[in-house]
Structure 1
Amino acid sequence: MDIHNMPGPIDPEEVARAHQADLAAQGIHGVDYQHYWVDPAGGRIFCLVSAPDPETAAQVHREAHGLVADSIYEVVEGA
């Protein structure tokens, strides 16, 4: 799960476009950006991603749109 802390309010349509760019770029890296959530007023974006490692997940964001996450956490699905 990655977290982007943006400097102000977020336009959800811009985030949707960035997510589509991730989807277009992810395949060559073995990454799967599965879902994202937006906190428009709080300026935060959360991305659920399956990737070989955090660096590769960040590389897809970097190549797709340049908005690299501030933090990346390994998470596991709860029972």
Structure 2
Amino acid sequence: MPLFMDIHEQLPDGASAADVAAAHKADLATQDQYGVNYKSYWVDEVNGTVFCLVEAPDAEAAIRVHREAHGLLADRVFEVIEGN
């Protein structure tokens, strides 16, 4: 299945790493409906940036999970190839 990295370039004002963890948990609760597997995420609280790594049939499926789970949509989505 394709692998994607999405980037949220600016968290909402006042959002913390704990808020991102709660959003990720919501993704995990929603992902199976769309054949998606959110693998991991990283938070840069200083710059307000979040990166999500996800296996999905296509980028739109990954976006649908974010939309339904919590409404925080990524600014950019890239297909990536996992290295060794």
What is the TM-score when the length of structure 1 is the normalising length? 0.94
Which structure's residues are more often strand, by fraction?
2
What is the TM-score when the length of structure 2 is the normalising length? 0.89
Alignment partner, residue 27 of structure 2:
22
Structure 2 unaligned regions, length at least 5? none
Within a 5 Å distance, the mapping from 1:42-53 to structure 2 comes to: 42-53=47-58
Q: Percent identity?
A: 56
Deviation at 1:69, TM superposition (A): 0.4
Partner SS for 1:74: strand
Amino acid paired to 1:2: D
Deviation at 1:10, TM superposition (A): 4.1
Structure 1 unaligned regions, length at least 5? none
CA RMSD between the two structures: 1.2
Number of residue pairs matched? 79
